[in-house]
Chain A
Amino acid sequence: MKLPKFMNAVIMTAAITMGGSAVQAQQAGGSMVFLVQPEPPTMAGYVSTSGPIGLLGPKIYDGLFDYDNDGKMIPVLAESYDTSADGKTVTFNLRKGVTWHDGKPFTSADVQFTIMEVLKKVHPRGPNSFKEVSSIDTPDAHTAVFNLGNPAPYMLRALSAYESPMVPKHLLEGQDIKSAKLANNPVGTGPFKFTEWKKGQYIRLDKNESYWKEGRPYIDRIVGRFIPDASTRAAAMEKGEVLYAAYNAVSNVEAVRLNKEKDNISVTTDGYSMINPMALIEFNTKEGPFTDAVVRRAISTAIDRQYMIDTIFFGYGNPATSALSSNFAATGLHAEMPHYPATGDIAAANQMLDDAGYKKDSDGVRMKAMFDLIPYGEDWKRGGQYIQQVLGEIGIDVELRYEDVPTWLKRVYHNYDFDMNLNYFYQLSDPVLGVHRHYGTNMIRKGTHFVNSSRYSNADLDALLGAGMTEPDAEKRSAIYMEIQEILARDMPVVNLFELEFLTVYNTKLKGAYGSAMGAYSSFADAYLD
């Protein structure tokens, strides 16, 4: 595979000459190759929220709205919406003249079908997002009226192409949605059409010539490449073979190096605010050593969050200060709580355990525990090993367990056979969507992944979560979530560690791809090559 030196020179010259002509902005044409890691199982974003599907799906399917980096709603398939005074009716005015990639027109019937028959039934988070939607009326082809049981302000944060893609009724109706052929031959209304899937290598999407937005997309072709090895991915980025890598497809350490060493490679942490990933420890509150909230609070107090961010994630991240991400501060739903010190306080943690009567034995051990680690790679193993050392200092002797993904999921979310578990959750764009599932009694769902595995159950909290879900008034809602955060800072069934900041590494040749809060999970209709 090694090219002779002079060949490289020839290619380089050619590249420079071609690049030289691209002076005017927003030039159309070109191929955009980016990293998709790992290879997705299907492209059915309406059935799975899996990351790699999110990278490709929103380029093929549109949502009703998109969101800009300030969280403002940008019209996509819906041009506008109206909420009735009581908050129980939301009317969407749909864009006219939109067609599916197969030429059929997009109408309100598609919206009705997507929400009621697809997202509410088979989507992992749809049943939550559209819980209050009891029916959808379609007075004409371009109007969809959502009838809600209760006001559901959070629903308007879940309308992106990633979270709620609009799917064609005529290709899914009457079929088993989960096994429909559409999963591997996606037909959407988005800026790019699915063309080819070469298993193990790439997925190719081509420009949708009849896209509803005039003059878009700029790019002719998008190729999502699958490269299993991390160092090869970094090398592909370095050599300019791929132009875009999100969700840490290029590891932080390499990203920092490339950003520093290469003029044409940059990194950004934008594009993840609707995802809101939070690193955390889930505790088994029903059995084992962590049934007492004091111990859980002591652990939260001992861990040096900033140290973990600095050393394991190379400075990208923010220490958690409550059960909710600080990104919710914009909507008034976040406040700093006690027992979340940024730098850790071993002495205070020891004091808490001493006061609670947990005596150290002659080896300095108060209790033993098993610590499961999310099997997503070395970073998490390193994090676990750090926490193991810290807990040793406060007299908790933990053993680490690192298993394969299915075994781990079964252990934590089906058998509840764990003491403490290092993990991360997406808190998403609203606590209702991403956080309630972690704490509500109704979210103790044996066998469902990433819900309340702590089996924490508190009637007061349940009532507050219910109230927070339906409260339309921003100020009252803020007060409800203050109370929720206070309860969770006291009981701590889950200790939040830090808000992860995923990194997007990109070649500066790629422009216009950074305007959406959905980041890599956005359509790329406005992206162009310079």
Chain B
Amino acid sequence: MNSFWNRFSRNKSAVLGLFILGLVVFMASIAGLIYPDDPFLYSRFPLSGPGVNGFLLGSDSIGRDVASGIAHGAKTSLLIGLIATLAAVFIGVIFGAFAGYYGGLVDDVLMRITEVFQTIPSFVFAILLVAIMKPSIESVVIAITVVSWPAVARLVRGEFLALKNREFVQACHTLGMGDVRIMMAEILPNCLSPIIVIGSLMVATAILIESGLAFLGLGDPNVMSWGFQISDGRSMLRVAWWICTFPGIAILITVLAINLVGEGLNDALNPRLRERN
């Protein structure tokens, strides 16, 4: 663990990313304490600039606090990113593991299914899915999961293909282990590193997709999110720049931070690639 941290911390930008991400997580976790009111609560002071009428980052057209929205929106964005990624990784690992391990017909069938999903541009597909289901937090998570898992499946399949003929796997066969046990307990732990890396980057993508959907008006109208704030303020950009600027910055730095952390994880978990710089 120590050496992992050493390798990770050698990448200074990754440490910075981790720090920023920590701040965002902290902000999300105390959002309810610093802004106990509903972030949708209107006030009598619409379109106040930053610092005016007690709004740190200004208020929107019906007087909602932009800062409160960002704090509460952080929770939404992170949760969606995390849950959608976990679900996508779970599905992707199962598809990839079976396809890679068994090969042949199983591989063909599973990979053709994966390709069907991969041929549709992922954001368009996500829009379609949310539009078919009603826009809600669940449908957004499902849509992001559905468009994200094929990448994991392909990666895991490749790893399994490479590992399944290695000596330790053959040893397991000779010991009479079952296929599922070999896959999950022996091969999977050996290809965890790339999965963690792709997973961490997927969280960033998921946050972006969620924001994009909310921006297009396909977010859950009951849940505050950064994408919603931007779409709500976009038409007023010329009059009240702060409504969409601050959530935009929040998305930018969060996604950047997650990407930096992902890079750092990649360096730390794949030491052989580390020397490339």
Chain A residues within CB distance 8 Å of chain B: 230-231, 251, 253-254, 257, 307, 310-312, 373, 377-378, 381-382, 384-386, 388-389, 392, 399-404, 407
CA distance A257 to B47 in the complex (A): 14
Are A402 and B135 CB-contacts (below 8 A) given A312-B62, A381-B217, A384-B221? yes
Q: A307-B44, A388-B222 are in contact. List 5 more A-B contacts (CB 8 A).
A: A231-B234, A373-B221, A384-B221, A400-B222, A407-B134
A-B contact pairs, 5 of them (CB 8 A): A307-B42, A381-B232, A388-B40, A401-B221, A403-B134
CA distance A216 to B195 in the complex (A): 73
Q: Are the CB atoms of B221 and A400 closer together than 8 Å?
A: yes
Q: Are the CB atoms of B131 and A404 closer together than 8 Å?
A: yes
Residue of B nearest to A375 (CB): B217
The interface residues of chain A lying within 8 Å CB-to-CB of B236 are 253
The interface residues of chain A lying within 8 Å CB-to-CB of B41 are 389
In the complex, per-residue mask of B30-42: 1 if CB is within 8 Å of any chain A CB, else 0: 0000000010111
In the complex, per-residue mask of B202-232: 1 if CB is within 8 Å of any chain A CB, else 0: 0000000000000001000110000000011
Residue of B nearest to A373 (CB): B221
Are A311 and B46 CB-contacts (below 8 A) given A231-B237, A382-B61? yes
The smallest beta-carbon distance between B251 and chain A, in angstroms, is: 19
CA distance A377 to B234 in the complex (A): 12
The 10 closest A-B pairs by CB, nearest first: A400-B221, A311-B62, A311-B46, A402-B221, A253-B236, A400-B222, A385-B40, A386-B42, A386-B62, A403-B134
Residue of A nearest to B46 (CB): A311
The smallest beta-carbon distance between B228 and chain A, in angstroms, is: 9
The interface residues of chain A lying within 8 Å CB-to-CB of B38 are 389, 392
CA distance A388 to B64 in the complex (A): 13
The interface residues of chain B lying within 8 Å CB-to-CB of A310 are 46
- The secondary-structure label for the interface of chain B is loop
The smallest beta-carbon distance between B49 and chain A, in angstroms, is: 15
CA distance A254 to B237 in the complex (A): 10
The interface residues of chain B lying within 8 Å CB-to-CB of A307 are 42, 44
- From A377, A382, A402, B62 is in contact (CB under 8 Å) with A382
Asked whether B103 is an interface residue with its Cβ less than 8 Å from the other chain, the reply is: no
Residue of B nearest to A383 (CB): B62
Q: Are the CB atoms of A378 and B217 closer together than 8 Å?
A: yes
Asked whether B50 is an interface residue with its Cβ less than 8 Å from the other chain, the reply is: no
- From B63, B134, B221, A381 is in contact (CB under 8 Å) with B221
Asked whether B235 is an interface residue with its Cβ less than 8 Å from the other chain, the reply is: yes
CA distance A312 to B40 in the complex (A): 14
Q: Are the CB atoms of A385 and B62 closer together than 8 Å?
A: yes
Q: Are the CB atoms of A401 and B62 closer together than 8 Å?
A: no
The smallest beta-carbon distance between A265 and chain B, in angstroms, is: 14
CA distance A392 to B37 in the complex (A): 12
Are A254 and B61 CB-contacts (below 8 A) given A381-B217, A381-B221, A400-B222? no
Are A378 and B42 CB-contacts (below 8 A) given A311-B61, A312-B62? no
> Would you list which residues of chain B between 34 and 76 have a CB under 8 Å from chain A?
38, 40-42, 44, 46, 61-63
Residue of B nearest to A401 (CB): B134
The smallest beta-carbon distance between B51 and chain A, in angstroms, is: 20
Asked whether B238 is an interface residue with its Cβ less than 8 Å from the other chain, the reply is: yes
Residue of A nearest to B233 (CB): A378
CA distance A388 to B238 in the complex (A): 28
Q: Are the CB atoms of B235 and A257 closer together than 8 Å?
A: no
Residue of A nearest to B63 (CB): A311
The interface residues of chain B lying within 8 Å CB-to-CB of A373 are 221
Asked whether B239 is an interface residue with its Cβ less than 8 Å from the other chain, the reply is: yes
In the complex, per-residue mask of B228-269: 1 if CB is within 8 Å of any chain A CB, else 0: 000110111111000000000000000000000000000000
Residue of B nearest to A388 (CB): B40
The interface residues of chain A lying within 8 Å CB-to-CB of B221 are 373, 381, 384-385, 400-402
The interface residues of chain B lying within 8 Å CB-to-CB of A382 are 61-62, 232
Q: Are the CB atoms of A399 and B235 closer together than 8 Å?
A: no
Are A254 and B62 CB-contacts (below 8 A) given A384-B221, A401-B134? no
Are A257 and B239 CB-contacts (below 8 A) given A388-B40, A402-B221, A403-B134? yes
The interface residues of chain B lying within 8 Å CB-to-CB of A254 are 235, 238
The smallest beta-carbon distance between A134 and chain B, in angstroms, is: 47
The interface residues of chain A lying within 8 Å CB-to-CB of B231 are 378
Residue of A nearest to B218 (CB): A402
Are A389 and B217 CB-contacts (below 8 A) given A312-B62, A399-B222? no
> Would you list which residues of chain B between 1 and 46 have a CB under 8 Å from chain A?
38, 40-42, 44, 46
The smallest beta-carbon distance between A38 and chain B, in angstroms, is: 15
Are A389 and B222 CB-contacts (below 8 A) given A257-B239, A311-B62, A382-B62? no
- From B40, B44, B46, B237, A389 is in contact (CB under 8 Å) with B40
Q: Are the CB atoms of A251 and B235 closer together than 8 Å?
A: yes
CA distance A373 to B237 in the complex (A): 24
The interface residues of chain A lying within 8 Å CB-to-CB of B239 are 253, 257
Residue of A nearest to B37 (CB): A389
The interface residues of chain A lying within 8 Å CB-to-CB of B131 are 404
CA distance A388 to B62 in the complex (A): 13
Residue of B nearest to A404 (CB): B131
Q: Are the CB atoms of B135 and A378 closer together than 8 Å?
A: no
The interface residues of chain B lying within 8 Å CB-to-CB of A402 are 135, 217, 221
The interface residues of chain B lying within 8 Å CB-to-CB of A381 are 217, 221, 232
CA distance A402 to B230 in the complex (A): 17
CA distance A381 to B219 in the complex (A): 11
The smallest beta-carbon distance between B244 and chain A, in angstroms, is: 12
Residue of B nearest to A392 (CB): B38
The interface residues of chain A lying within 8 Å CB-to-CB of B222 are 388, 399-400
Most central of B40, B131, B235 by chain A CB within 10 Å: B235
The interface residues of chain A lying within 8 Å CB-to-CB of B232 are 378, 381-382
In the complex, per-residue mask of B168-191: 1 if CB is within 8 Å of any chain A CB, else 0: 000000000000000000000000
